[in-house]
Chains A and B, each alone.
Chain A
Amino acid sequence: KNEVEQSPQNLTAQEGEFITINCSYSVGISALHWLQQHPGGGIVSLFMLSSGKKKHGRLIATINIQEKHSSLHITASHPRDSAVYICAVSHHNTDKLIFGTGTRLQVFP
């Protein structure tokens, strides 16, 4: 069993829909990261969080430390949101990132 699990693996949406991607982890962590990888391959860090909730524009990330679960929400989705979204955790007090397998999102006009 992977230490970081994401669901769903693939997600298709119509423009404007509300999207949720889930991440569960089984190890002790000091922080959780949400990353975005575009088709060209580049990786962008969206959020790093260790508790509560963060919001950047149309993106919202939440984490529940007790349940070892995080969600990434995209409101009013747009075709430019099409990418792979990767959840990663900083293993307890180290810098080592453990990655989920990613969620491939396609948003159609």
Chain B
Amino acid sequence: DSGVTQTPKHLITATGQRVTLRCSPRSGDLSVYWYQQSLDQGLQFLIQYYNGEERAKGNILERFSAQQFPDLHSELNLSSLELGDSALYFCASSVVGGPGEQYFGPGTRLTVT
């Protein structure tokens, strides 16, 4: 158990819908990262927050947005969902703002039908 929690574990929804994925980092970790793992693209970095502020952005679509709240939990919002958004979404946390060991949550499996 990494200490990082993600909810829900599974999510099935229809095209065009909007969903919110939630992540709680390990106690004391200030950085939260979001990753997408799809069959055709592998693991890709989406976005990072550090102590409430956006720190780095990767291949995140405009239909996706994220935020980190004062209690350090983070939410990833996916809207206007398409079939291709079906994937495993991981969050990870680390203590530091710079390069450091990251602890991964169990992931949320999103299926868009």
Q: Mark A21-45, 1 if CB is under 8 A from B, else 0.
A: 0000000001101010000011111
For B102, list chain A residues within 8 Å (CB): 33, 45, 97
Q: Mark A43-69, 1 if CB is under 8 A from B, else 0.
A: 111001000000000000000000000
Evaluate whether A101 and B107 lie within 8 angstroms (CB atoms) in the complex, with A33-B102, A44-B2, A48-B100 already known: no
Please tell me if the beta carbons of A30 and B99 are within 8 angstroms of each other in the complex: yes
Partner of B44, one of A41, A44, A99: A99
Please tell me if the beta carbons of A86 and B104 are within 8 angstroms of each other in the complex: no
Tell me the bound Cα distance from A35 to B99 in angstroms: 15
For B35, list chain A residues within 8 Å (CB): 97
For B42, list chain A residues within 8 Å (CB): 99, 101-102
Residue on B nearest A98 in the bound complex, by CB = B45
Q: Is A71 an interface residue (CB 8 A)?
A: no
| A-B pairs under 8 A by CB, number | 61
Q: Mark B77-113, 1 if CB is under 8 A from A, else 0.
A: 0000000000010101010011111111011010000
Please tell me if the beta carbons of A94 and B99 are within 8 angstroms of each other in the complex: yes
Please tell me if the beta carbons of A45 and B103 are within 8 angstroms of each other in the complex: yes
Within 8 A of A (CB), among B27-82: 31, 33, 35, 42-45, 48, 50, 55-56, 58
Q: Which 7 A-B pairs have the closest CB atoms?
A: A90-B99, A43-B104, A99-B43, A30-B99, A31-B99, A48-B101, A96-B56
Q: Can you identify 7 A-B contacts, CB atoms within 8 angstroms? A: A33-B101, A41-B107, A43-B92, A44-B104, A48-B101, A95-B94, A95-B97
